[in-house]
Amino acid sequence: MSILACSTPAAQEWPTAAPSAAVEQLDEPAAEATAAESTNVPEQSAEEVPVAPTDAPAEPTDEPAPHKTVLIVVFSATGTTKSVAEKIAAIEDADLYEILAAEPYSEADLNWHDSNSRTTKEQNDNSARPAIASEPIDLTSYERIYVGYPIWWGEEPRILDTFVESYDFGAITMIPFCTSASSGLGRSGKNLADHANGGNWLEGKRFSGGVSESDLVDWMNGLN
């Protein structure tokens, strides 16, 4: 799994050379010699027979490593959603891209009991678009993108709207998923699809932070 933006990986089988002709002939002379010949011809030891090298160096290649076709995009203010995203990335052997806020969210910012907290104000403003600090990512090699986020005030964090409005997803299959203590996906998946530039958006799913890998695999196997 490669980690991109916030941080950004396959073993090769090396060919083994076939046994040389000299090695294959070591057992032939003694079996075919006559009794008279065997008493007059000194036996040749294996050490005296030249052996061709069998470990030829590998041919250099200029071919690039194959690109992964699955990307996991995640925004996680507390780390809960990121832990789920990492499990999905491991299952899919996918790249992981973390959306980092230009202005990180503090504990006070996340206080939903405070009507004046930063996140309360952002979520009450449909036009809010918090800036992203992560480096832009090239999406041209991806065929499927999972988009993960926590549920804030029944919806996706506004920084997710910033993200989906910043890229052209073309015909990429887009799969939203969220984490929350109890709230479901709600209208967040539809919101992202409406704000996004393209993409084939599938119905998403809500998970708890402690979701098991087997539950994730069952969900992923049911995706179109």
pLDDT in tens, 163-220: 999 999 999 999 999 999 888 999 999 999 999 999 999 999 999 999 999 999 999 9
pLDDT higher than 70, residue 145: yes
The one-letter code for the residue type at 43 is: E
Q: State the chain's mean pLDDT as an integer.
A: 80
- How many whole angstroms separate alpha carbon 162 and alpha carbon 132? 8
What is the band of 8 on the pLDDT scale with cuts at 50, 70, 90?
very low
Q: Residue 4: its pLDDT value, please?
A: 67
What is the domain partition of the chain in residue ranges?
69-221
Longest dimension (CA), the chain: 108
- Of the candidates 58, 30, 137, 156, the one whose C-alpha atom is nearest the C-alpha of residue 94 is 137
What is the band of 57 on the pLDDT scale with cuts at 50, 70, 90?
low
Answer whether 169's CB lies under 8 Å from 96's CB.
no
Neighbours of 91 (CB within 10 A): 16
CATH architecture of 69-221: 3-Layer(aba) Sandwich (3.40)
Answer whether 70's CB lies under 8 Å from 92's CB.
yes
Structure-derived torsion over alpha carbons of residues 215, 211, 136, 110, reported in degrees to the nearest 10: 150
Q: Residue 15: its pLDDT value, please?
A: 33
Task: Say which residues have a Cβ less than 8 Å from residue 169's Cβ, sequence separation at least 6.
Answer: 139, 145, 196, 197, 198, 199
Across 7-25, average pLDDT: 35
Give 26 or 192, the one with higher predicted confidence: 192
Across 145-170, average pLDDT: 97
Lowest mean per-residue pLDDT among 13-27, 73-87, 196-210: 13-27
Q: Residue 5: its pLDDT value, please?
A: 52
Alpha carbon 141 to chain centroid, angstroms: 12
- 88 by Cβ neighbours in 10 Å (0-12 / 13-18 / 19+) ranks as buried
Give 105 or 50, the one with higher predicted confidence: 105
pLDDT higher than 50, residue 140: yes
Q: Exposure pattern of 186-209 as b/e (b: 16+ CB <10 Å)? A: bebbebbbebbeebebbebbbbeb
Give 32 or 200, the one with higher predicted confidence: 200
- Of the candidates 13, 6, 178, the one whose C-alpha atom is nearest the C-alpha of residue 85 is 178
Q: What angle do CA 77, 122, 162 make, to 5 degrees?
A: 70
